[in-house]
Structure 1
């Protein structure tokens, strides 16, 4: 796998994980990770 492909996969996984945490309502966990995510703020309101 090319280096830039693996980076893209990791970034996609990180986005998916953040969205999943948001869906579960676990904003505190995102805060611990230092990720303030517009999708989370909009989706978990």
Structure 2
């Protein structure tokens, strides 16, 4: 389901973890981010 962007972040000179933190704040899946039942969901891999 989750599409990975190739060549990020190293090829753009971003520090390790920068893209992961930024992408993690983007609501790609509103049904997951806004239902409010995080405790009942399995951790995202």
The TM tier, using the shorter chain, reads 0.3 to 0.5
Q: Which has the higher contact order (CA 8 A, sep 6+)?
A: 1
TM-score (norm 1): 0.34
Structure with greater helix percent: 1
TM-score (norm 2): 0.34
